[in-house]
Structure 1
Amino acid sequence: MGLFRRLFGSGAPDGFTGTLEPEETVIASTPVRDGHLVVTSLGLWVPGPRRIGWHLISKVKWEGALRVVEATEASTEGPVVLLEDLPAQRFAVDDPGRVLRAISQRVEGSIRHRERVESPGVWILQRKIPGQDGFVWQARGDAGVDLAAVREAVSTFAAKLAG
């Protein structure tokens, strides 16, 4: 990869100020206000620049602008990481096609297993962390479900995993 980058560059758009990891490859990019959205093998670079790992993107959707919901690791219940969604970020892009597809594929591709706990409304996911071996268990409540309810919903599941 080093020789390829020396000969052909990183594939990042002109003006991108992030620092890619040696093994990180650029898949797609698009200009946005204050910078670029850059889709790589390790995550989504947003203006700042800041990379969000694929395992921390809860949702991506086109709503007249690209809407990205990032999660934060709020707590743990045994081996399960409890996530809380941050406010959605919106990015105006002229043509979301390639970037939206690339983001969606990588977010979905990071999920190895998913289970639903209907009451109170919690998703339990097994996800691959980009650039690392192994996986992580995560739990994320639906909108309006607080962290205590998420913890309670996954406690039995987490106990089985810890086993």
Structure 2
Amino acid sequence: MFCLAGSLRSLFGLRRLPREVRTALPVEPGERVISHAPAAEGGHVVATTMALHLPGGTRLPWHLMDRASWDEAGAEVTMTDGSVHTVRLPEPGTLPEVIRERVTATILASRHVPLDARGGVRLVARRIPGHDTPRWDFVFDPGLDPADPGLRTLAELALEDVRHSLGI
């Protein structure tokens, strides 16, 4: 018997997530798999409605991702706390598009505000699944110390102005 779904999956390179990966995936209630690809080191990278799951159990929530970049070897994901995660993906499938869409969908607002002659800060409001209040992140320009109390005060004042102007 001809299976149209199976034929479409092979035509577009879509494969089911192996059962052992799916059952071991630590998902929250309501979280579902969107895309996945095998990692070169073993295991799978799995994009769900709430996070990117890396081999070894690392869960990267979409609202905590600052950016992701891709090349022929794989992906590099930078989180809002500055941590960087890399994974080699010989056949990424739809993961690059899914990651871009999911990270972009979390962003409510993003504004760069100059702080002093040395640079400024990017203020980013992100949606958090299951919460009404957005999360605001400060992304300081390279060379600025986020721990500097004077810069932090300037950034917090800038945030109040941005929140007021946007109504967020």
TM-score by length of 2: 0.72
- Classify 1:151/1:21 alpha carbon distance in 2 versus 1 (closer, same or farther; 3 Å): same
| Residue 159 of structure 1: how far off its partner (Å) | 4.5
Q: CA contact under 8 A between 1:42 and 1:130: conserved in structure 2?
A: yes
1:71 maps to 2:80: yes
Q: Which moved more, 1:127-136 or 1:45-54?
A: 127-136
Query: Could you say which structure has the larger radius of gyration?
Result: 2
| Residue 97 of structure 1: how far off its partner (Å) | 4.4
- Measured against aligned partners, the alpha-carbon deviations of 1:63-110 in whole angstroms (never above 9, x if no partner) come to 2321111233xxxxxxxxxxxx11x32211123341011011110110
Long gaps (5+) in structure 1: 1-10, 73-84
Higher helix share: 2
Look up the match of 1:18.
25
Q: In 1, distance between residues paired with 2:49 and 2:62?
A: 9
Identity %: 29
- Classify 1:45/1:101 alpha carbon distance in 2 versus 1 (closer, same or farther; 3 Å): same
1:27 maps to 2:22: no
1:91 maps to 2:87: yes
- Classify 1:137/1:98 alpha carbon distance in 2 versus 1 (closer, same or farther; 3 Å): same
Q: In 2, distance between residues paired with 1:38 and 1:131?
A: 21
Asked which structure has the greater RCO (Cα within 8 Å, sep 6+), the reply is: 1
Long gaps (5+) in structure 2: 1-15
Q: In 2, distance between residues paired with 1:59 and 1:50?
A: 17
- Classify 1:21/1:12 alpha carbon distance in 2 versus 1 (closer, same or farther; 3 Å): farther
Higher strand share: 1
- Classify 1:63/1:111 alpha carbon distance in 2 versus 1 (closer, same or farther; 3 Å): same
Q: In 2, distance between residues paired with 1:118 and 1:15?
A: 50
Q: CA contact under 8 A between 1:62 and 1:96: conserved in structure 2?
A: no
Q: CA RMSD in A?
A: 2.3
1:116 maps to 2:112: yes
- Could you tell me which amino acid in structure 1 is paired with residue 135 of structure 2? V
| Residue 12 of structure 1: how far off its partner (Å) | 4.6
Q: CA contact under 8 A between 1:28 and 1:99: conserved in structure 2?
A: yes
Q: In 2, distance between residues paired with 1:153 and 1:93?
A: 41
How many equivalent residue pairs? 139
- Classify 1:153/1:29 alpha carbon distance in 2 versus 1 (closer, same or farther; 3 Å): farther
